[in-house]
Structure 1
Amino acid sequence: MLDNVVKKKKGIWQQSLNWRTALLYLLPSLILFSVFLFYPMGKTLYLSFFLTDRQGEANVFVGLENYLYLLESEAFLKSIKATILFVLYTVPTGIIISLFLALLANEKLKGIGFFRTIFASTMGISVAASSVVWLFLFHPSVGFLNKIIASLGGQGVDWLLDPKWALLSVSITTIWMNIGFTFLIILGGIQNIDEHLYESAKIDGAGYFYQLRRITIPMLSPTLFFVITVSLINAFQTFGQVDILTQGGPSESTNLIVYSIYREAFVNYQFGTASAQSIFLFLCILVVTILQFKFGEKKVHYQ
């Protein structure tokens, strides 16, 4: 009886020691997350219920009025529409192009390494540098794109000045910027597929497109699932290229939610409504991610 009590106490002491050791290892991460994630998140939620001064300090408690104001704001509703369209423009198109380039780059051809480097090169270019390059390409008078159109007998397009074209122009820039990352991830996934699957399919007389549909895409589904999830989150958080190319214009056609938050907080100094928009954006990303895991993961084949 005494031995059982002693063993039980030793077990409890050992378990407590394991917990303390685990917390000690996790302490640096917990501190970083607390300073750069948990505290800002809590502060944002807190400020979303207040009217603030120009320094961002809470002045008057207004409860849910900031959220109700957003739902009635025409500018915010336009921002939501622009963000949804931007996500629809950039995510599917970027992934399809990256998949196509990865399939090309996976072919065993002489000099294919050069093309792999070219396809992935956009990943090494900053948002600011990429946006400036495209700013010149989209220029209405000296831009390269309008010169091509003029040489073909067409009329130049006001890419960044026309509300009908501005969001599409920013989307094209974003797709070009993100292709390098998605291309590398998808190419790595393709190269990890077992070659014996293709050899068996060739012996059975399967063609290229049958192999693509029955082997490549199913075996690549975990990689595609990851890329789609990350691309969706990144699309909702787009800021740099909007700030450099259009500043949310013209007529707020490119005023994505993140840029709207920036203008509300650091131009209009309305930190309360900006915080409410931030919470709304967080909930949007959370819902999209949950739906992605709930419905998208069912089509993922891990083996």
Structure 2
Amino acid sequence: MKGSSSLHAKQSIWKKSLNARTALLYLFPSILLFSVFVFYPMFRTIYLSFFLTDQHGSAALFVGLENYAYLLESQAFRNSIKATVLFVLYTVPAGVILALFLALIANEKLKGIGFFRTIYSSSMGISVAASSVVWLFLFHPSVGMFNRLLTLVHLPEVQWLLDPDWALLSVSISTIWLNTGFSFLILLGGLQNIDGYLYESAKIDGAGYWYQLRRITIPMLSPTLFFIITISLINAFQSFGQIDILTKGGPSQATNLIVYSIYREAFVNYQFGTASAQAVFLFLCILIVTILQFKFGERKVHYQ
């Protein structure tokens, strides 16, 4: 009996080992890609954040935490943090609410609604560069459409991208439009997965549209909303293309978000050490926001 039990245990261990090796073999391509494009750059960035570097990005002098201390004392970096926080507050809530509104409209069973679904999701197929160029013309102070409309209603023209009070809001508007297509498609898919029997039962009980929206639609859509809010937060912290094309961080550093500040510090000023410290700071901010989102936001998510 002991010999049979020992043999069975050895076979079980050998089978588990074989399964582990098979799993690693299947995972190897993904592990290799993540190692080259994610893990190595991440650890390299953390390493460089403790050094002063030369123009080629090589570590030259170990300074410890001095790069981080410099950032905390830098007024420009504090302005970048403020601009980034405001940008996130401008874009994420407005973008999610707009996408939800469009998804609710497009989910109605009306003739020709497919055309509007295509229009609402069209921004998803446009690159950041192309859309930013379009918005650059719309915001133009003399020939832009927005100032033309203000002139028609006898309102003063606005220097959309040249006025520090308007520049961040203008870039936020273009970002909301750019991200609406993706959020709209995901939310529409979530709405179409809600069982129609729930609405039929509610109608039989005399429930109106707003009651159904509050008691059925939003709770059943909460996993999708949770996903969209999380992704939108991460994307907002990482926005770069529209800043580079529309304002280049100006005017007066009003739109100098942390990502653009990292770019300028590394590839304009060739200070890769302080740029790496900013990148580590941004990573920690996104990590903390995501953890808080999962800790507090997921409590209100209904998965059934």
TM category, shorter: over 0.9
Structure 1 unaligned spans of 5+: none
**Equivalent residue number for residue 106 of structure 2:** 105
Q: Tell whether 2:137 aligns with 1:118.
A: no
The amino acid across from 2:173 in the alignment is I
Query: Percent identical across equivalent pairs?
Result: 76
Q: Could you say which residue in structure 1 is the equivalent of 2:54?
A: 53
Cα separation, 1, equivalents of 2:190 and 2:73: 45
Letter in 2 for 1:138: F
TM-score scaled by length of structure 2: 0.99
Q: Identify the residue that residue 184 of structure 2 maps to in structure 1.
A: 183
The equivalent residue for 1:152 is: 153
Instruction: State the superposition RMSD in angstroms.
Output: 0.6
Secondary structure at 1:231's aligned position in 2?
helix
Structure-to-structure mapping, 1:89-104, within 5 angstroms: 89-104=90-105
Match of 2:165 in 1: 164
Give distance in 2, aligned partners of 1:102 and 1:274.
40
Shift of 1:144: 0.4
Q: Quick check: 1:230 aligned with 2:231?
A: yes
| Alpha-carbon distance between aligned partners in 1 of 2:155 and 2:175, rounded to the nearest angstrom | 25
Aligned to 2:132: 131
- Structure 2 distance, partners of 1:155, 1:246, is 22
1:23 is matched with 24
Name 2:33's counterpart in structure 1. Answer: 32
Question: May I ask how many residue pairs the two structures share in their alignment?
Answer: 303
| CA–CA distance in structure 2, aligned partners of residues 107 and 286 of structure 1 | 37
TM (normalized to structure 1)? Answer: 0.99
Aligned to 1:79: 80
Deviation of the 1:291 alpha carbon: 0.2
- The Cα shift of 1:34 comes to 0.4
Letter in 1 for 2:261: S
Q: Which amino acid aligns with 2:5?
A: N
Alpha-carbon distance in 2 for matches of 1:203, 1:50: 69
| CA distance in structure 1 between the partners assigned to 2:11 and 2:183 by the alignment | 52
Alignment correspondent of 2:276 = 275
The DSSP-based 3-state class of the residue aligned with 2:60 is: strand
Q: CA–CA distance in 1 between the matches of 2:150 and 2:231?
A: 35
Show the counterpart of 2:288.
Answer: 287
- Write out per-residue CA displacement over residues 228-269 of structure 1, whole angstroms, 9 at most, x where no aligned residue: 000000000000000000000000000000000000000000
Alignment-derived partner of residue 261 in structure 2: 260
Partners of 1:5 and 1:147 in 2: CA distance: 85
Structure 2 unaligned residues grouped into runs of 5+:
none
